[in-house]
Structure 1
């Protein structure tokens, strides 16, 4: 069986970590896309086409990351004209029924197995995957008939007008007939993938794989937290310490940890898993690391640093301080005394600003998100939910209470 992975969007809601496609964000030492491909490969799907944007570096990245014995081909969507148009670019490569997969399906293995079984058992031309959810208004939602059969997808229904509490997940099985339905649409627009699928549902045999698990999405930076949780609860996260790693005196390890090649954990540090520490990381004296925590390769901390429930990308350095419930990009620098606040006084969920709109994170604990290559002076700090762009310079003693655009510099006023 073949699969198409749609990875051509602009990832605009993933700012400030959208310097490249969000599926290239790393967890457990690999880009998110890798884990999706691994799940496909383990279930016999090894002929995969990836749709990328014109300026994407995905194809170059996967030349280095493809150790999965799969056939990968790339096609380009020249303009961001929606999922239907992205899929249309693959029409000459699809030779039979195929899967359409979003690149963040790190648990794709389980879902793919269920979808293939449903297609075979019910002789289906379309297999949808749905999950029950308390909040469905921001997604495609399935409308059922009186017999519980899926009959239509309603995209982004208005609040209170949702046809069910079953939202679509980013994995679908369809036949090549899709391309005929797509071509015959009267008009094309950004959501025409749904229009063509709905026409298929009306005329073709359709099955539904229903999961009771709250499946993670990847729209916003904080969506990386449940993706990390899913990976740490999978067989991809092994309790292991590489033989080249150096563990200092009086280091306390509780729970599951995965420590990479040539990593150094200095004396007196406490690790409370689950924690991933990548290759060549250096953890300073008397640190406190509390999981779930992900530290990509070449991350360094000085003495007396505390990190809690955070995701740190490669090459970032901390001198000392505290970062909790935070997501930090590549090659950032934090001078001594940096502190994130991660809870509101009233303990209500933290809100932030995304593309100029106040957005609910639904997280009671949420610190800071920082883009690549930003620098923070001594005693800098941040309020909950602040996002800082790439290439920023935050001066000594600055307390951040609102977002900082890419490339901006802020100094404390005397």
Structure 2
């Protein structure tokens, strides 16, 4: 058995974003959203990542090829999530152990949730653990159907769901932990028997269950974390979430941000204690600001740049390390 690997689905278009740029390359706080997914996987002890690319594969590969732990599989035609996994059969075949399957458009994934998927796979000797969440706003999302004893039965997509199934509030987040060899075997058995004529990855857990293998649906995600980015509005929402989290952490650790709602600071920025950030300041990139600094208001600082402790950046001043 080897350590876990991750397969990241990154082949999709930006249809609902009305963009020629691949969806996973749209930026969140100065970084392509897919990079946050890679970081989450690495934080869960993944050392090998396969990115499945398709639409404008050249752009996605150019962005991610700088990482030595990322390899690629090409999905020329987008025939569903199950079809995407079929494109990396060789990588799966060469791997003995756990596989995380993640969507490349979920930049808010947390390490602890991925750890729980992997731990449950091992502890319960399952072949699949499905990460689920609960929401009343479930339109368009796959529903988790359980039997009378609460055990996983199947996943039903919106377009294939009955009226009763559509009322189910537990949804599939699109994050899974699989046994690699069981996943391979199940991929050979799924069929495009649905309204989309696609190969659904969601059919793999059903195939496993029907063959007597253990499949667990684990409610381990919250909906904020599971939020996939399909629209520009959702892109802005994810950006705001990362901003709020980062600024809250800095303030807890001794930085004064006078008006967080009127300030933009990349999460990768590092801020010192007793430093004051005035409103309408914009700090982006790899910026390190020392202790007892005073920034702005209306200052612009672009990294890479390091400001020594005690630095004063005047109102409307623009500093750039580029």
Normalized against structure 1, the TM-score is what?
Answer: 0.57
CA distance in 2, matches of 1:3, 1:111: 14
CA contact (8 A) 1:10 1:80 kept: no
Q: Name the residue aligned to 1:78.
A: 76
Q: How far 1:122 sits from its partner (Å)?
A: 1.0
Q: Report 1 or 2 for greater relative contact order, CA contacts < 8 Å, sequence distance ≥ 6.
A: 2
Q: Does 1:2 align with 2:5?
A: yes
Structure 1 55/24 Cα, relative in aligned 2: closer, same or farther at 3 Å? closer
Instruction: Report which of the two has the higher share of strand.
Output: 1
> Secondary structure of the residue that 1:78 maps to in structure 2?
coil
Deviations 1:309-329 (A, max 9, x none): xxxxxxxxxxxxxxxxxxxxx
Structure 1 55/145 Cα, relative in aligned 2: closer, same or farther at 3 Å? same
Q: Name the residue aligned to 1:345.
A: none
Structure 1 277/123 Cα, relative in aligned 2: closer, same or farther at 3 Å? same
Q: Name the residue aligned to 2:27.
A: 26
> Secondary structure of the residue that 2:279 maps to in structure 1?
strand
Normalized against structure 2, the TM-score is what?
Answer: 0.71
Q: Name the residue aligned to 2:43.
A: 42
CA distance in 2, matches of 1:116, 1:280: 32
> Secondary structure of the residue that 1:79 maps to in structure 2?
coil
Counterparts of residues 281-300 of structure 1 (less than 5 Å): none
CA distance in 2, matches of 1:148, 1:296: 52
Unaligned 5+ runs, structure 1: 241-251, 262-268, 290-294, 298-302, 305-414
Q: Name the residue aligned to 1:170.
A: 174
> Secondary structure of the residue that 1:93 maps to in structure 2?
helix
Pick from 145, 151, 154: which aligns with 2:153?
A: 151
Deviations 1:49-94 (A, max 9, x none): 0000153211101234x3xxx5110111011111111100111111
Deviates more, 1:118-127 or 1:106-115: 106-115
Counterparts of residues 84-103 of structure 1 (less than 5 Å): 84-94=82-92, 95-96=95-96, 97-103=98-104
Q: How far 1:220 sits from its partner (Å)?
A: 1.7
Structure 1 152/225 Cα, relative in aligned 2: closer, same or farther at 3 Å? same
CA contact (8 A) 2:192 2:199 kept: no
Q: How far 1:2 sits from its partner (Å)?
A: 0.7
How much is the aligned-residue C-alpha RMSD, in angstroms? 3.5
Structure 1 208/232 Cα, relative in aligned 2: closer, same or farther at 3 Å? farther
CA distance in 1, matches of 2:245, 2:209: 33
Instruction: Report which of the two has the higher share of helix.
Output: 2
Structure 1 172/146 Cα, relative in aligned 2: closer, same or farther at 3 Å? same
Pick from 227, 246, 264: which aligns with 1:216?
A: 227
Equivalenced residue count is: 267
> Secondary structure of the residue that 1:92 maps to in structure 2?
helix
Structure 1 89/6 Cα, relative in aligned 2: closer, same or farther at 3 Å? same
CA contact (8 A) 1:26 1:296 kept: no
Pick from 239, 242, 246: which aligns with 1:228?
A: 239
CA distance in 1, matches of 2:100, 2:221: 21
Structure 1 29/161 Cα, relative in aligned 2: closer, same or farther at 3 Å? same
Counterparts of residues 220-369 of structure 1 (less than 5 Å): 220-232=231-243, 234=245, 239=250, 253-255=258-260, 258=265, 271=279, 277-279=283-285
> Secondary structure of the residue that 1:170 maps to in structure 2?
strand
CA contact (8 A) 1:52 1:77 kept: yes
CA contact (8 A) 2:143 2:165 kept: no
Structure 1 61/296 Cα, relative in aligned 2: closer, same or farther at 3 Å? farther
CA distance in 2, matches of 1:236, 1:202: 48
Structure 1 163/236 Cα, relative in aligned 2: closer, same or farther at 3 Å? same
Q: Does 1:202 align with 2:202?
A: no
Counterparts of residues 185-196 of structure 1 (less than 5 Å): 185-187=190-192, 189-196=197-204
Unaligned 5+ runs, structure 2: 252-256, 270-276, 288-295, 304-314, 317-322
CA distance in 2, matches of 1:71, 1:288: 37
CA contact (8 A) 1:4 1:50 kept: yes
Pick from 114, 124, 128: which aligns with 2:126?
A: 124
Q: How far 1:33 sits from its partner (Å)?
A: 0.8
Pick from 16, 35, 44: which aligns with 1:13?
A: 16
